[in-house]
Structures are given as structure tokens and as C-alpha cells.
């Protein structure tokens, strides 16, 4: 067990510096250097071709779409695009890397020198500067069988699946992130969320962390003061949830602070993250000048990005998430806080589609952030996983606005929709949930309620209008909540 300094104390005594290396798997149809399908899942070793599994003599070809997407991503990250960049071989041995080298980019990356503005929970924006974004290929996947934790140590045997081999990756590397202070964990996580949103807006990746489309290596170091030289960093590899990124940063800050406070030295090393308890543990030690014997891949020509091509791609960029968020906030008239809640709940697209289907923004927000958020929380699923569509929510609101159902009935209608009973109109018909505004049944219920509660009737006659509520209860009960409240009120007053 590591000795940890209390987080609040650690960030008071030391200044944390972060570095994030994020891998984004591109969703191109085919692989980076051959024509085998780039598909998630599938039987092991079925989506493969000679080049990606390193068969001797097999020649790689460059996937042009992947390069185009890398440039688009680079532009969206405010990077400069290199007119000429190259692929290089990065040598290392691992059983899931059949060639014993990975094709990556060394000295010159496709994109470099950019930045992303990250929105934080308190409404502040924090700028993260980007060193480079380069193209490379993914490796295959080893599965170790027989060990307790799935690691190679203690395993009886290992399996190799090359389906992921040569899937196009963009690695986005930040410059050292300084000035984060005690918000370092949040900044790290929100930065990766911003990358996810940008990748999705560009349509270059599903960017789903749980599928490994998006993976982060988290570098953390501490120094005495913001003026001190950079301290020694650790690199926690392959953290694959946003909560995990936050926890890994927090843990490393607390751990390194204690090491330093005890007069020790932080060891430069990679570390593993343990999601169960949010801790990290030592991996291999790593020096800065690791010698991968990079050299230009003689099988592949240079990537040439002409200014005309780059400008065309820039002109074709879609609206980016930060701009879209600001636009929608203004269009919808939400406060900053309301908008942040909407974004954090993953409700922005849903509300947008509900509004397109005809609902007001206020109504759309009411349903998605209210009743539907509650249902999602109870079922422990994301809002977008609920089996109700924005169009159905809009239809529900139309029924409310037309007075066909009230809010209480609307919740029952939603329940029916979620249970797969059809669209709101169908549920209203099938369950007989429409508001009763026909006088017939209402008059009977009103008169019965008045007869049963003469004292209340007296109070109303005496001018205590609030007492009407005491008659509404029995009327609603008699009509199973379906009485049109406005009409009931009128019928009572007519009889007073
Ligand atoms: P490596 O090959 O070791 O992964 P990279 O240069 O690819 O190195 O990535 C290192 C990451 O860590 C970059 O984001 C870099 O800005 C950041 N970094 C470098 N030095 C420090 C430091 N002292 N503390 C925190 N982060 C650092
Ligand atoms: Mg790295």
C-alpha cells in the first residue's frame, strides 16, 4: 500500500503538472495500412490481411481517408498541419505486434502546435495546449488466460487476436499542462471529454472509452512551486473511463506528494490503474530517451498535405462542440448552469431533437432533465438508452398543451411508452388516460364531493377559495386522476 498525503494538503504543498497522451481509434471502413475491415468484435483473427499481421514481403498502403480524418482532427484542435510528414518504424517486441515494429510518426507529425479550450464545472474555461497529433497503427490484443487479474504474470497461456492490428489511431499529445492546481483531476478528465466530443462531431470515431476507441495515458509530476523546474513524471497507462482519469491524477498527486514530503524521489515509470479502488501501481521504469530505433519506413512514401487540400478540409469542418453548445444555449434561452446540467446529463442531442420535433426548449428540458432523468437514474442507464424517442416526448407535450392529458397523466403515458406500449397517443387510447372534461361524469363527482364535505363548501362560500383544494382530491380520486382540473373548479364555483 502506498502512503498517501491528503489531496487538499498535497495540492497546497506542491504544484501538479499533467501530460495527456490520448489515442483515438478512427472509424474508417478499412485498416490503416491494408484493406481488411476495421470492425469491433468479430471472431478472433478474422479481420486481418497480410500487411497488418506482418507477413514477410507484404507491403503496406496508406489509407487516405485516415489521413484526411487526421488532418480534420488536427484542424479542429487548432493545430498547424505539416505539409510533409512521414511514417516511421518504432521498434519493440510484443506478441501482439507481429512485425516487431509499429508504424507511427516520429520527428514530424501530421499536426502540431494546437490547443483546446476545456469547459469546467464552475463555468471557467481552461486552455490545454497540444504538442502534436500523429497517425499510427494499433496493435493486436493479447489475452492472458489463467491468471487472477488477467495479467501475464501467473497466466497458463496467452491468446493473440490480430483483429485490432493496424486499426488507424491518432495519438494526441499535450504540452505539459501547467497551472491546473487543485483542479488537475477535473481538467484531465474534461479535456479527454472535449476530445471525445470533437471526434464525434467530426464523425471520425465513435470515441467510446468502454470500447477502447479512446484511451488515455496520464502523466503527472509535482514540483515545489510553479516557478520550479518540472518534476519527475509517472505515466499511468490506458485509463479507460473519465472517472478513472480523475482518480488516477488524484492518486498520483497524493502518492508523489507523500514520497517527496518523506524526502524520497519519484521514480520515472509507467503505472497501471486499478479501477476497483482508484489506485495505481508501478509498471516498468522508463527513461526519457527510450530507444525505439525509429527510422523512416522505406515501404511508405511521405504524407503530403497541400495547402489547397488543407484549406478545403478546414472549410468543410462541421460546427464544433463548444460553438454548438453556445449557439444552442442562446437559442434555447437556458442559463449557463442549466446548460451545464444538460450537457453533463448527456441530454443536449436529445433536447435538440425534441425541439426539432416541435416542443419548446423549456418543455424538452423539463421532460429530459426531470422525469426521464429520474427514470434513467433508477434504471442505472444513460438517458439516450431509454426506449423513448425525442419525437415521442414532443408528442407527449402536445397532448399536455392541448389539455388532453395533465402532467400527472403524462407521467403514466411516459411509463407506457417506456414499457413499449407505443406512441403517446396510442398509450392514451389503450390505457384510457385522457383527461375527462365531459361534464357528465365530472358533475356527478363534483356533487358527490360537495355533499360529502359540507364544511368545506361553507368555507368556500365564506370566501376561503383555497379550500377548493379539499374538494379537488375526492373528485380526482373518483375520476382516477383524469379530471380536467380547470373544468372541475368551474363546476364547483357554479354550485357555490
Ligand atoms: P512518452 O514517449 O514517454 O510517452 P511523450 O512525449 O509521448 O512521452 O508524452 C509525454 C507526455 O507527458 C506529454 O504530454 C508531455 O507534455 C508530458 N510531460 C512531459 N514532461 C512532463 C512532466 N515533467 N510532468 C508532467 N507531464 C510531462
Ligand atoms: Mg507516449
- Rounded to the nearest angstrom, the distance between the alpha carbon of 219 and the centre of ligand 1 is 6
Among the listed residues 315, 308, 313, 303, the one whose alpha carbon sits nearest the alpha carbon of residue 63: 303
Element (H, E) at 325: helix 321-332
Tally the residues of the chain. Answer: 496
Atom of ligand 1 nearest to the CA of 171: 7
Report DSSP state, residue 230.
P
Name the H helices within 120-173. Answer: none
- Rounded to the nearest angstrom, the distance between the alpha carbon of 492 and the centre of ligand 2 is 75
Beta carbon of 226 within 6 Å of any ligand 1 atom: no
For position 375, what pLDDT does the model report? 94
**Residues 199-209: tens digit of each pLDDT:** 999 999 999 99
For position 217, what pLDDT does the model report? 98
For position 287, what pLDDT does the model report? 67
Which of 61-65, 67-71, 149-153, 273-277 has the weakest average pLDDT?
A: 149-153
For position 216, what pLDDT does the model report? 97
Q: Which protein residue has the closest C-alpha to ligand 1 atom 10?
A: 19
- Rounded to the nearest angstrom, the distance between the alpha carbon of 264 and the centre of ligand 1 is 21
Q: Which protein residue has the closest C-alpha to ligand 1 atom 24?
A: 221
* Residue showing cell 516487431: 100
* Residue showing cell 471557467: 124
Per-residue HEC secondary structure of 164-210 comes to: CCCCEEEEEEECCECCCHHHHHHHHHHHHHHHHHHHHHHCCCCCCHH
Residue 144 contacts by C-beta under 8 Å, 6 or more apart in sequence? 150, 151, 152, 155, 157, 158
| Nearest-angstrom CA–CA distance, 137 and 105 | 10
| Nearest-angstrom CA–CA distance, 21 and 428 | 52
For position 471, what pLDDT does the model report? 85
Over residues 337-366, the mean pLDDT reads 95
| Residue 288 predicted with pLDDT over 70 | no
Could you list the beta-strand ranges (E) of 84-124.
Answer: 84-85, 88-91, 101-104, 111-119
Among the listed residues 394, 398, 426, the one whose alpha carbon sits nearest the alpha carbon of residue 413: 426
- The mean of the pLDDT values for the chain is 93
- How many other CB atoms are there within 10 angstroms of residue 344's CB atom? 11
**Residues 91-132: tens digit of each pLDDT:** 999 899 999 999 999 989 999 999 999 999 888 999 999 999
- Rounded to the nearest angstrom, the distance between the alpha carbon of 21 and the centre of ligand 2 is 6
Report DSSP state, residue 37.
B
For position 447, what pLDDT does the model report? 86
On the CB side of 20, CA atoms within 13 Å amount to 33
| Nearest-angstrom CA–CA distance, 410 and 400 | 7
| Nearest-angstrom CA–CA distance, 10 and 446 | 68
Q: Which protein residue has the closest C-alpha to ligand 1 atom 1?
A: 288
Q: With beta carbons less than 8 A apart as the criterion, state whether 492 and 460 touch.
A: yes
| 279-285 vs 269-274, strand pairing mode | antiparallel
Beta carbon of 21 within 6 Å of any ligand 1 atom: yes
How far is CA 440 from its chain centroid?
53
Hey, is 234 helix, strand or coil? Answer: strand
| Residue 463 predicted with pLDDT over 70 | yes
Q: Is 447 exposed, middle or buried (0-12, 13-18, 19+ CB in 10 A)?
A: middle
pLDDT band at 437 (very low <50, low <70, confident <90, very high): low
On the CB side of 297, CA atoms within 13 Å amount to 25
Which listed ligand is nearest to 252 at the C-alpha? 1
**Residues 184-225: tens digit of each pLDDT:** 999 999 999 999 999 999 999 999 998 889 999 999 999 999
Beta carbon of 174 within 6 Å of any ligand 1 atom: yes
| Residue 7 predicted with pLDDT over 90 | yes
Q: With beta carbons less than 8 A apart as the criterion, state whether 108 and 296 touch.
A: no
| Nearest-angstrom CA–CA distance, 270 and 381 | 34
| Nearest-angstrom CA–CA distance, 85 and 310 | 14
Beta carbon of 173 within 6 Å of any ligand 1 atom: yes
Say what percent of the chain tops pLDDT 70: 99
Over residues 364-374, the mean pLDDT reads 96
Residue from 130, 136, 170, 173 whose mutation best tests the ligand 1 pocket (most atoms within 8 A of CB): 173
Over residues 257-285, the mean pLDDT reads 94
Q: With beta carbons less than 8 A apart as the criterion, state whether 81 and 305 touch.
A: yes
Which of 38-52, 72-86, 227-241 has the weakest average pLDDT?
A: 38-52
C-alpha cell at 85: 510528414
Torsion from C-alpha of 174, 177, 183, 186, nearest 10 degrees = 0
Atom of ligand 1 nearest to the CA of 221: 24
Q: Which protein residue has the closest C-alpha to ligand 1 atom 14?
A: 19
Amino acid at each position: 500500500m502506498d502512503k498517501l498525503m491528503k489531496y487538499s494538503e498535497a495540492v497546497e504543498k506542491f504544484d501538479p503538472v499533467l501530460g495527456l497522451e490520448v489515442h483515438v481509434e478512427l472509424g474508417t471502413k478499412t485498416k490503416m495500412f491494408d484493406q481488411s475491415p476495421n470492425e469491433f468484435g468479430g471472431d478472433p483473427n478474422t479481420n486481418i490481411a497480410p500487411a497488418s499481421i506482418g507477413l514477410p514481403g507484404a507491403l503496406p498502403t496508406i489509407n487516405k481517408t485516415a489521413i484526411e480524418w487526421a488532418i480534420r482532427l488536427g484542424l479542429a484542435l487548432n493545430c498547424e498541419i505539416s505539409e510533409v510528414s512521414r511514417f516511421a518504424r518504432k521498434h519493440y517486441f510484443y506478441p501482439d505486434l507481429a512485425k516487431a515494429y509499429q508504424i507511427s510518426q516520429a520527428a514530424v507529425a501530421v499536426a502540431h502546435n494546437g490547443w483546446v479550450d476545456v469547459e469546467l464545472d464552475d463555468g471557467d474555461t481552461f486552455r490545454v495546449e497540444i504538442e502534436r497529433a500523429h497517425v499510427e497503427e494499433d496493435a493486436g490484443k493479447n489475452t492472458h488466460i489463467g491468471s487472477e487479474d488477467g495479467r501475464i504474470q501467473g497466466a497458463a497461456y496467452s491468446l493473440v487476436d490480430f483483429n485490432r492490428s493496424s486499426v488507424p489511431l491518432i495519438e494526441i499529445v499535450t504540452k505539459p499542462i501547467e497551472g491546473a492546481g487543485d483542479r488537475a483531476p477535473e481538467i484531465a478528465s474534461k479535456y479527454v471529454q472535449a476530445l471525445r466530443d470533437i471526434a464525434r462531431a467530426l464523425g471520425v470515431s465513435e470515441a467510446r472509452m468502454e470500447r477502447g476507441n479512446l484511451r488515455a495515458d496520464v502523466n503527472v509530476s509535482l514540483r515545489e512551486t510553479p516557478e520550479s523546474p518540472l518534476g519527475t513524471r509517472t505515466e499511468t497507462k490506458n485509463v479507460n473511463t473519465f472517472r478513472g482519469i480523475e482518480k488516477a491524477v488524484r492518486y498520483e498527486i497524493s502518492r508523489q506528494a507523500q514520497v517527496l514530503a518523506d524526502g524520497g524521489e519519484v521514480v520515472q515509470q509507467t503505472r497501471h490503474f486499478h479501477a476497483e479502488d482508484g489506485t495505481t501501481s508501478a509498471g516498468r521504469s522508463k527513461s526519457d530517451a527510450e530507444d525505439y530505433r525509429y527510422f523512416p519506413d522505406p515501404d511508405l512514401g511521405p504524407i503530403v498535405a497541400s495547402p489547397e487540400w488543407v484549406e478545403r478540409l478546414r472549410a468543410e469542418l462541421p460546427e464544433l462542440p463548444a460553438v454548438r453548445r453556445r449557439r444552442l444555449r442562446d437559442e434555447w434561452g437556458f442559463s449557463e448552469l442549466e446548460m451545464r446540467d444538460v450537457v453533463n446529463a448527456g441530454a443536449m442531442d436529445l433536447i435538440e431533437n425534441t425541439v426539432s420535433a416541435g416542443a419548446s426548449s423549456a418543455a424538452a428540458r423539463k421532460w429530459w432533465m426531470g422525469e426521464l432523468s429520474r427514470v434513467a437514474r433508477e434504471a442505472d442507464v444513460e438517458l439516450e438508452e431509454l426506449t423513448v424517442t425525442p419525437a415521442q416526448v414532443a408528442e407527449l407535450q402536445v397532448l399536455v398543451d392541448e389539455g388532453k392529458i395533465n402532467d400527472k397523466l403524462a407521467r403514466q403515458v411516459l411509463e407506457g411508452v417506456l414499457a413499449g406500449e407505443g406512441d403517446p397517443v396510442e398509450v392514451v387510447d389503450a390505457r384510457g388516460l385522457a383527461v375527462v372534461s365531459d361534464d357528465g361524469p365530472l358533475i356527478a363527482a363534483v356533487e358527490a364531493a360537495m355533499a360529502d364535505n359540507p364544511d368545506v363548501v361553507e368555507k368556500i362560500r365564506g370566501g376561503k377559495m383555497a379550500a377548493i383544494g379539499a374538494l379537488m382530491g375526492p373528485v380526482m380520486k373518483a375520476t382516477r386522476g383524469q379530471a380536467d382540473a380547470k373544468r372541475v373548479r368551474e363546476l364547483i364555483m357554479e354550485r357555490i
